[in-house]
Chain A
Amino acid sequence: MIAGMRRFGGLPLIVGLACLAAQPCTAASGNQGAQLAASCASCHRPDGRDNGIPPVVGLDESRIVQSMRAYRSGERTSQIMHVVAAALSPEEIAAVAHSLAGQRPAAAP
């Protein structure tokens, strides 16, 4: 997305930000973390108002990394999150944590 914005100048930057209001940094960004974070949205709400499922948007980056490691090792129990964490490399966990930590809860529609 950075490359794209440089190419198109100021207006697309605003367009890009408008997208953030709904769901930060998704398709076409060439950004591994953002694309992995898009997978989180299949279960976790972008407004952070989850019911029955822990919210992930806007959490501290190191806390997300720590949680994912704990799910991966089995120290924290959740079979769904264990399979997610086991499928990601340490670099991918860092990238997705960075992306999620940078998201602000979007307004509920």
Chain B
Amino acid sequence: MNGCTRRAFGGLASAMCLACVPTRAAERRSAPRVVVIGGGAGGATVARYLAMAGKALNVTLIEPKRRYTTCFFSNLYLAGLRSFDSLTHGYEALTERYSIRVIHDRAAAIEPEAKTVRLTSGTTLPYDRLVVAPGIAFRDGAIAGYDEAATEFMPHAWIAGPQTILLRRQLEAMPDGGLFVIAAPADPFRCPPGPYERASLVAAYFKQQKPRSKILILDAKDTFFEQDLFQDAWDRHYPGMIEWLPAQFIGAIDAVEVKDRSIRTAGQVFKADVANIIPPQMAASLAQQAGLADRTGWCPVDPVTFESTLHRDVHLVGDAIIPGAMPKSAFAANSQAKACAFAIAAALTSEDDPRPFLFNTCFTFLAPDDAVSDAISFGITGGKIAITEIMISKLDESAAIRAQAVREANGWYEAFTRDIFG
């Protein structure tokens, strides 16, 4: 569609929209069927952009939750800077404005040979193309004693929802002078700056409400993303409050004991008042069961179309995949989702698909009035997604620049969640 047509007719579009819905619905009955599993930043974006495709596609989104809480920005909730409600989004717009069939059920099994998805309710959905955006699971047994029951005492809060609320309540109940321990995982994991942003924002809360408290980060790594920016901010905003212990000092995080909230590493035992265990991760169980993950526990994909390299006509986006140099972030998932939606729409309509534009930006809060960002563009090199350009905030930026990044971050959240959920 060219710009002239849009300028001439754009104003009438809203009025026409209501008139054409029955026609569109009728057309979709015979249209190619795309089923999307997972209604997070990756899956909901794929569904929305497929539904906006020039040729009508029959788009079904499967997501058990009726309302989705974003893990991104949930550290602001933990610090008392945002309401839980402000992180929570429904699927009504995807149904009402984009005619996406949203089924609140769980995908029980994928049958790639039959090209069907079986739901827990027993319903079987056939597809022409399937998109799986299942997110992450935690590796069973990676930390001894950290099972499902243990998460009720030592929350991970790394899949947003009740876990996030539980961690906030524990932080609120912790006495002044208490010790908050965060166990951070080895790479790769969801949201590389996340554990350190969490430490920063919980420190901001402690500084106001419980100033004698301490935060200890037990890390399974020896370095972390934006480390210089974080450590500079910790010295400036919360001197003496946050201690970071890398793997080379403490060894691996081996076990937890829920009854006294202790964490055992190779050489020491740390007793916490509040413990946040962020375990090692892998692609969610549906991807493992369906044979979409390889021996790494993550899902290999074509870097242009995001089609699985293990099963034809099944695409994957988001935290579950091996995306070359792209981080596991909601922004990356949203960017992959658009490339994937365009590739599927092009394949089903036999049209050309331009090169994918893959990008990531993350806003990271160091304090309520101090945020930084990174921006990364990606290209395909040697069949893999590689970084073409990267910029990260610098150490010597003024307070005004950092405060501007806070305003941009809040504006970004509004725009970004609209881009996902409509």
Contacts and interface: CB of A to CB of B under 8 A. Distances in A.
**Do A and B form a real pair?**
yes
Interface residues of B, number: 71
B355 to A, nearest CB: 8
Contacts of B346: 28, 30
Given A28-B345, A87-B357, A14 B19 contact: yes
Interface string A70-109: 0000000001101110111000000000110111100101
Interface in B378-401: 379, 388-393
**What's the dominant secondary structure at chain A's contact region?**
helix
Interface in B9-55: 9-14, 16-17, 19-21, 23-24, 27, 49-50, 52-55
Contacts of B388: 87
Interface of B: 1-4, 6-7, 9-14, 16-17, 19-21, 23-24, 27, 49-50, 52-56, 93, 97-98, 331, 334-335, 338, 341-342, 345-346, 348-349, 351-354, 357, 359, 361, 373, 375-377, 379, 388-393, 404, 407-412, 414-416, 418-419, 422
Interface in A13-27: 14-27
B380 to A, nearest CB: 13
Interface in A35-61: 35-36, 38-39, 41-46, 50-53, 61
Contact of A15 (B3, B49, B56, B354): B56
A81 to B, nearest CB: 8
A19 B53 CA distance: 8
A12, A15, A82, A99 — most chain B CB neighbours (10 Å): A15
B20 A84 contact: no
B56 A84 contact: no
Given A42-B331, A45-B414, A84-B359, A5 B354 contact: no
**What's the dominant secondary structure at chain B's contact region?**
helix
A11 B16 contact: no
22 contacts: A4-B349, A11-B20, A11-B27, A14-B20, A14-B23, A15-B27, A16-B54, A21-B14, A25-B1, A25-B6, A35-B342, A38-B342, A41-B415, A43-B411, A43-B412, A52-B404, A52-B411, A52-B412, A79-B391, A80-B373, A80-B375, A83-B389
A18 B416 contact: no
Contacts of B23: 11, 14-15
